[in-house]
Amino acid sequence: MIPRSFLPRRAVVMDRDKIRSTIADIIENDLGVRHQDLNDEITLRDGLGLDSVDIVSVISQVERQFKIRLSQADLEQISTVGQVLDLIVSRTSDQFKSEAA
C-alpha cells in the first residue's frame, strides 16, 4: 500500500462515506432539500423525489465534482444511491489506476 503522502493530491480515492456526503451536498444545493439519511437503498426517483431533470442535473454536478464521465449506459443502470456510489467509486478508482500507471 502506498502511503497517502506519496500520492498526488487529486489521486487520493475518496471513501464511500465522503462520496455520500458530497452527493448529499449536491442534492441539497440543487434542490434545497437535505437528506440526512442517505442510505444505499434509497431510490433516486421515489426515495429522493428526483425527476429526470433533477437526476441529469445531479449527475452532471457529480461528473464535475469527481472529474469523471458517465456514459448513457451507466446512467441507465443506476436507480439507487448505492448504485451511484458504486459507479463513482469504480470510476474514481479507474482514474486513480490510470494516473498511477
Q: What is the pTM of this model?
A: 0.75
Does residue 4 lie within any of the structural domains?
A: no
User: Is the distance from CB of 64 to CB of 32 less than 8 angstroms?
Assistant: no
Does residue 3 lie within any of the structural domains?
A: no
CATH number for 52: 1.10.1200.10
Does residue 17 lie within any of the structural domains?
A: yes
User: Is the distance from CB of 88 to CB of 66 less than 8 angstroms?
Assistant: yes
Of 6-10, 48-52, 77-81, which range is least confident?
Answer: 6-10
Structural domains counted in the chain:
1
- Which of 70, 52, 51, 50 minimizes the C-alpha distance to 60? 70
Give the structural domain span for 89.
13-100
Quick one: average pLDDT of 57-82? 93
Does residue 62 lie within any of the structural domains?
A: yes
Burial of 23 (0-12, 13-18, 19+ CB in 10 A): buried
Of 11-15, 39-43, 55-59, 91-95, which range is least confident?
Answer: 11-15
User: Is the distance from CB of 54 to CB of 31 less than 8 angstroms?
Assistant: yes
Does residue 8 lie within any of the structural domains?
A: no
Does residue 6 lie within any of the structural domains?
A: no
**With 50 as the cut, is the pLDDT of residue 8 above it?**
no
Does residue 46 lie within any of the structural domains?
A: yes
pLDDT (0 to 100) of residue 96: 58
Helix (H) or strand (E) segment spanning residue 31? helix 16-31
Does residue 7 lie within any of the structural domains?
A: no
61 sits in the region (left: phi over 0; alpha: psi -120 to 50; else beta) called alpha
Q: Which pLDDT band, with edges at 50, 70 and 90, does 15 fall under?
A: confident
